[in-house]
Amino acid sequence: MPKIQDIPDSSRSSRGGMSHQAIEDYLKTIYRLAQDGSPVSTNRLAEARSVKPASVTGMLKRLAGLELVNYQKHYGVTLTDEGRKIALEVLRHHRLIETYLIKALGFEWDEVHEQAELLEHVISEKLEERIAAYLNHPEFDPHGSPIPRADGSVPQVQTRPLTTMVIGDQGEISRIATDSNSDLLRELAKLDLVPGKHLHVLAISADRDQFTLQLAQNDHPIELGFELADAILIKI
Ligand SMILES: [Zn+2]
């Protein structure tokens, strides 16, 4: 698929007054926020990128000029086919890099996001392919997030938050909802609550704020507050 990296250097450093990194970061954020398919509002985008709504509006107008987004005031923004391609390509880089850093270089899963945020914009297609081959073309990263394939398709898996389970339910951890909250990821790793593990819900407090889980028979029960429990996505 065409990528911003393939654009000659002269136009790449500044496309419509934006760096290719800024373009990719915006497209990636819009893709992430639009998971339910609906348009993303300027305010949500501003919040996610920690900038003022006014500067988001300026950015969206320029992205629309490049035909990477469809933007209408008061309606929000969606990605064009070309914008979606670029977003998926950057996500593929991001998740392959996180997987590589953990599996090949011994990084912990709470320290790879920062590295991937930088490297995702600069690795070549050749390096991407070599990393994917080295890892035997993984479909999911260590956080359980789907890695978009080179053809632009995305592995699908249905999940629901642990907080929707009831006492007596069992299930397999599919994914952790965040890859950037280091404290939360460290906490879950300490408790061995990682994708692939099976868990059993032993008890839930009356206000559904405290979850008691067990990973295997004879294991000590684990007490989990709502925030941690809500970040754990269970395979349906
Ligand atoms: Zn990440």
**pLDDT tens-digit series, residues 46-80:** 999 999 988 999 999 999 999 999 998 888 899 99
CA 109–ligand 1 middle distance (angstroms): 9
Nearest 5°: the CA angle 60, 61, 65 is 115
Q: For residue range 80-127, list pLDDT tens digits in order.
A: 999 999 999 999 999 999 999 999 999 999 999 999 999 999 999 999
Q: For residue range 38-53, list pLDDT tens digits in order.
A: 899 999 999 999 999 8
Residue boundaries of the structural domains of the chain: 1-155, 159-235
Query: Helix or strand or coil: residue 42?
Result: helix
How many other CB atoms are there within 10 angstroms of residue 59's CB atom? 25
CA 93–ligand 1 middle distance (angstroms): 10
Which residues have a beta carbon within 5 Å of ligand 1, which is an ion? Answer: 113, 116, 179
How many other CB atoms are there within 10 angstroms of residue 86's CB atom? 24
Backbone torsions φ then ψ of 14, nearest 5 degrees? -145, 105
Predicted model pTM: 0.88
CA 119–ligand 1 middle distance (angstroms): 11
Radius of gyration of the chain (CA): 20
1-155 under CATH 3.50.50.60, yes or no:
no
CA distance 28 to 167: 37
Query: Helix or strand or coil: residue 201?
Result: strand
**Topology (CATH level 3) of domain 159-235:** SH3 type barrels. (2.30.30)
Strand 170-176 with 198-204, pairing: antiparallel
CA distance 19 to 52: 19
